């Protein structure tokens, strides 16, 4: 490598990941096609708590201590980074879009007003984003309580890190799904929940982020019910002449994965593709599964948002 190219090579982007049991950090290698480094530190499981709108409460002191431990391992933390969060920290729901103003700020005010009857809290208390779906009469709204996310941002800021993009793990992994003709569904099985993201070549049509309170047969039945509902939505709103829905799966081995494979085998309108996460462009890291490492890579490669 020449000195000129070395000086012109941009600093590798950075990403963090948090969930109920860990905080992790990763940086891209200089060529930006792999993770140059990844580290994880355990957090006391009492540091965060879920509610009906996703993440409800966080203990900043526990997160701050984990970030200090992480900094002790990697040295100075980056000044800017993106953040991956669990899917069950957010909620996604369709909202009627008829009569939405063209101005984004005005449209957001209308969306918040229409959320009044759908949320167990005041619409002013949530942070949200929305996009039109294939059904022109609706928008897909993704939201989370603003207060706990702000506390997380403030805790990172106290350690010198400004967070840009904050996204659920399933949306982060969406960057790794190859383009296909027609509809595609990404299924991400996490430790305590799952994410389903349905999209066409242009836009996201539906998203579901669900916690799994139970286990065993109960969890498997719940997952298969949500998969079937999403597939039915795809058939209803997709091109009637299209082929099977391409279902991409990101998951570790386990009972839920077995249930998903069984469901796909009995669904003639599904073409199943497992995302190969094992042996990815990273060094195996204690405390992080290939699912976590892939999400850290994907969100870092997209930049800080």
Give tens-digit pLDDT for 230-260. Answer: 888 887 766 655 678 999 999 887 888 888 9
Taking alpha carbons only, the member of 242, 223, 228 closest to residue 181 is: 242
Residue 131 near residue 203 (C-beta atoms within 8 A): yes
pLDDT of residue 45: 81
pTM of the prediction?
Answer: 0.89
- The pLDDT value given to residue 8: 39
212-232 tens-digit pLDDT: 877 788 888 999 999 999 888
pLDDT band at 176 (very low <50, low <70, confident <90, very high): confident
Q: Cα(first)–Cα(last) distance of the chain, in Å?
A: 29
pLDDT on residue 103: 85
Beta strands in the chain (DSSP E): 14-18, 22-28, 35-42, 48-51, 54-58, 80-85, 91-96, 126-132, 138-145, 162-168, 184-189, 193-199, 204-211, 245-250, 270-274
* Average pLDDT along the chain: 87
Could you give all domains of the chain from N- to C-terminal order, each with its CATH number?
91-144 (3.30.1490), 178-274 (3.30.420.40)
pLDDT tens, position by position, 263-294? 999 888 899 999 888 888 999 999 999 999 99
């Amino acid at each position: 490598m020449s000195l000129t190219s070395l000086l012109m090579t941009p600093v590798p982007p950075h990403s963090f990941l948090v969930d109920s049991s860990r905080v992790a950090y990763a940086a891209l290698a200089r060529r930006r096609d792999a993770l140059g480094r990844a580290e994880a530190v355990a957090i006391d499981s009492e540091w965060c708590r879920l509610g009906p709108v996703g993440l409800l409460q966080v203990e900043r002191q526990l997160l701050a201590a984990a970030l200090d431990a992480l900094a002790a391992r990697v040295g100075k933390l980056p000044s800017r980074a993106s953040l991956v969060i669990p899917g069950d920290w957010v909620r996604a729901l369709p909202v009627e879009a008829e009569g939405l103003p063209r101005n984004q700020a005005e449209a957001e005010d209308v969306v918040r007003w229409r959320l009044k009857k759908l949320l167990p809290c005041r619409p002013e208390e949530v942070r949200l984003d929305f996009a039109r779906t294939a059904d022109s009469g609706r928008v897909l709204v993704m939201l989370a309580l603003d207060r706990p996310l702000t506390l997380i941002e403030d805790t990172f800021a106290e350690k010198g890190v400004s967070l840009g993009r904050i996204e659920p793990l399933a949306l982060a992994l969406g960057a790794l799904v190859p383009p296909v003709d027609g509809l595609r569904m990404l299924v991400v099985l996490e430790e305590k929940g799952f994410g389903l993201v349905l999209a066409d070549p242009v836009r996201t049509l539906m998203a579901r982020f669900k916690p799994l309170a139970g286990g065993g047969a109960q969890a498997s039945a719940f997952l298969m019910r949500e998969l079937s509902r999403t597939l039915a939505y795809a058939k209803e709103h997709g091109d009637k002449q299209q082929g099977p829905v391409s279902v991409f799966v990101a998951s570790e081995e386990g009972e839920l994965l077995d249930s998903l494979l069984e469901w796909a085998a009995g669904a003639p309108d599904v073409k199943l593709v497992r995302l190969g996460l094992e042996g990815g462009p990273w060094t195996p890291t204690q405390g992080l599964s290939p699912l976590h490492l892939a999400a850290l890579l994907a969100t870092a490669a997209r930049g800080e948002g």
